[in-house]
Amino acid sequence: MGLISLLQQDPRAFIILVPVLLYSVIFHEVAHGWVASLFGDETARNSGRLSLLPQSHIDPIGTLALFFVGFGWARPVPVDYRNLGHSRWPIIAVSLAGCVTNILIATLALFLLQFDPVTSSSLLSSVLLIAAQINLILGSFNLIPIPPLDGSRVLIEFLPYRAKYQLARLEPYGFFIIIFLLFLGILDPLIRIIQTVIIFFIGLAFSFFR
């Protein structure tokens, strides 16, 4: 779902969504660096990548993809996993931090959507709904276990050494593999399944707090 069509349909919503969505990918990356710093790795902080200034994070191609395709990315925040100790759990926490951040943004948008006193066609509803949808896509997409996506880093921590080595070797070609699989539509069902699971738990959380 690209956003360029929204520019023609509702320019006001587009203008409001631009910073919301740019900061969705920025928060994703900052979350990786921030959680890494909690576990003792200051690489991101020392590189100035814990800043919320867009120029510190924006990737031109990833930004264009966000508006034309419906998902995108920022420049990866540097993390030195050797500084996280020998346990797999800090690595998993750092790897999942970005996805969790996107899911929290989507949850907040859906929560606020419940309090929109106007109809679902209002400007506020449109912005919240699109923000929730794209953050769900960002969170779900990054959970796919193909390098260099976050899900691969989590999967690697549970694989035997030989399988771990083989998966890590795919990283230089991962971007092209992902584009190819997206072009064939192979990843679409997996993304939908992940989104369904995430939405289920969001709904469960809403029902728990009512």
DSSP letter string, 11-60: HHHHHHHHHHHHHHHHHHHHHHHHHHHHTT--HHHHTTTT---GGGTB-H
Which of 29, 42, 157, 171 is an active site residue?
29
> Contact 22/57 with Cβ under 8 angstroms?
no
pLDDT in tens, 175-194: 889 889 888 888 888 888 99
Q: How much is the pLDDT for 70?
A: 65
Does the pTM of the predicted model rise above 0.75? yes
Domain hosting 60: range is: 4-209
Of 197, 201, 178, 198, the closest CA to residue 188 belongs to 178
157 catalytic residue (yes or no)? no
> Contact 115/53 with Cβ under 8 angstroms?
no
Q: How many domains is the chain built from?
A: 1
The alpha carbon torsion through 124, 128, 130, 136 (nearest 10 deg) reads 180
The phi and psi torsions of 184 (rounded to 5 degrees) equal: -80, -10
